[in-house]
Structure 1
Amino acid sequence: MTQVSIESVRGNIANQPDIDAIVNAANARLMPGSGVAGAIHSAAGPGLAQECRRLAPIEPGQAVISGGHDLPNSHVIHCLGPVYGVDTPSDELLADCYRNALELADRHGLSSIAFPAISTGVFGYPIDEAARVAVNAIRKAVPGLTSVRLIRLVLFSEDDLRVFRAALASASPGT
């Protein structure tokens, strides 16, 4: 079985030039917004919003794939995370985002994917819970991957990075 590496770094999700696909923490209409969606759309240029019009709307937990446009990445995978306390069950919908994004990347033969901390911004998901859900969903998906070899978690702040690194350290493979 080929090894899959999971790493966490502090950085900007829109600046991951060595990654095939970056994940957009999208809104339902897949349009530019604040936070991650704003940064990705700004870096990708207007072609991304134009392509996304035909892919929208999406539901919480769903993922769709587009081209990377002016980004150094060949693809952007757009996930609509749950609004914490509104979209339920939040943990299942958040896990679906990670699973569905990994499945799309694998189905498209991509070898690397980078995720932000989905739903932890304006959608209000507590970072500790989000990290646990994300890491567990990724670990469960890894055995089924055939082309993805690198999964990167890109965190904006040092505090978020610390939380995700702790979640990675405490999750045993296969959980």
Structure 2
Amino acid sequence: MNTLERIQYLNTILLEEMPQYKADAATFPDEIHTQRRLLRSLMNLRPPGPITADFLREQDILLQQEATIKGVVKPNELPNIADETSKDITPQGAPAHNLILWQGDITRLAADGIVNAANSAMLGCFAPCHGCIDNAIHSAAGLQLREACAQLMEQQGQPEPTGQAKITPAYNLPSKFVLHTVGPIIPANRQPNVAEAELLASCYRSCLKLAAQHQLKSIAFCCISTGEFHYPREEAAQIALNTVSHWLASSGSDLKVIFNVFKDEDLAVYKSLLKI
């Protein structure tokens, strides 16, 4: 089947599972762009549960084709901070050759692990086509990721505490693993307090600990808590750099750490702090 036929086939399966959305789905034209948006919406809405082998086979073909079209980015092809500054040590004291600053779509990175800014339910974003990184990662990984997270949460028996992290396979992403961490939520019109700053630092340490336990050679951090959770970006970036720097220095690890930014504002903040 061609791409449009594959998308429509996947939509048909999901609508049979969730017939309450059939009326809305009927308003989507039979065009590849709109049918693909419908598919992402239905995948976002679908609760965890058993998935047919037929669906997974065709979903995986589609997602892997899309990953190839977007282009896979390999960490060893990216310049590190030492390359960009001609310095061995960053202003935060970390080995400059271990750190990379990269602006782009984290779902393109073929790092051993990428970090997802999750919520305490750890099941991904259920808002159709929402712009958060949680939605982007789950949408590109496929329905297996939500199911894997659901199994972890069922075993845990409680919401994921802020500052901790879990690890799952990455399924259809170019990375090998996804590390899910829950950052602090900052109320509007208030600066983070000391306890919230420590919780954000704990997110980074928890992910680094998991990376070491699973012998990852590279990990890409998003800007944890700075999106939907409203942590001020400059303070968050400083915590990220200081925490990672201290961990690399104290552990002696040769882990390659990528600070992945998407917005121009975040890129400017990291460049300023790293003196690039």
Q: Would you say same fold, with TM above 0.5?
A: yes
Maintained 8 Å contact 1:103/1:145: no
Matched AA of 1:153: F
Query: Does residue 41 in structure 1 map to residue 143 in structure 2?
Result: no
**1:114 maps to which residue?**
220
Query: Does residue 94 in structure 1 map to residue 215 in structure 2?
Result: no
Larger Rg: 2
> In structure 1, what is the Cα distance between the partners aligned to 2:152 and 2:186?
24
- The structure with the largest strand share of the pair is 1
- Greater RCO (Cα-Cα under 8 Å, separation 6 or more): 1
Matched AA of 1:6: L
**1:62 maps to which residue?**
164
Question: Unaligned regions of 5+ residues in structure 2, if any?
Answer: 1-94, 126-130, 154-158
> In structure 1, what is the Cα distance between the partners aligned to 2:269 and 2:136?
22
Picking from 75, 81, 87, the partner of 2:177 is 75
Maintained 8 Å contact 2:163/2:199: yes
> In structure 2, what is the Cα distance between the partners aligned to 1:154 and 1:37?
14
- The structure with the largest helix share of the pair is 2
**Deviations 1:51-96 (CA, angstroms, capped at 9, x unpaired):** 0012233111001111111111110000000002489711000000
Q: How many correspondences in the alignment? A: 168
> In structure 1, what is the Cα distance between the partners aligned to 2:256 and 2:168?
19
Deviation at 1:165, TM superposition (A): 2.1
> In structure 2, what is the Cα distance between the partners aligned to 1:87 and 1:106?
29
Deviation at 1:15, TM superposition (A): 1.3
> In structure 1, what is the Cα distance between the partners aligned to 2:205 and 2:271?
19
Q: Which moved further from structure 2: 108-117 or 149-158?
A: 149-158
**Deviations 1:86-121 (CA, angstroms, capped at 9, x unpaired):** 897110000000111011001101100001000001
Normalized against structure 1, the TM-score is what? 0.88
Q: CA RMSD in A?
A: 2.1
Deviation at 1:167, TM superposition (A): 2.1
**1:142 maps to which residue?**
248
Identity of aligned pairs, percent? 38
Deviation at 1:148, TM superposition (A): 4.8
Q: Which moved further from structure 2: 160-169 or 94-103?
A: 160-169
Maintained 8 Å contact 1:16/1:72: yes
Question: Unaligned regions of 5+ residues in structure 1, if any?
Answer: 171-175
Maintained 8 Å contact 1:4/1:151: no
Query: Does residue 126 in structure 1 map to residue 232 in structure 2?
Result: yes
Provide the secondary structure at the position in 2 that maps to 1:61.
coil
Picking from 11, 31, 35, the partner of 2:104 is 11
> In structure 2, what is the Cα distance between the partners aligned to 1:118 and 1:61?
10
**2:116 maps to which residue?**
24
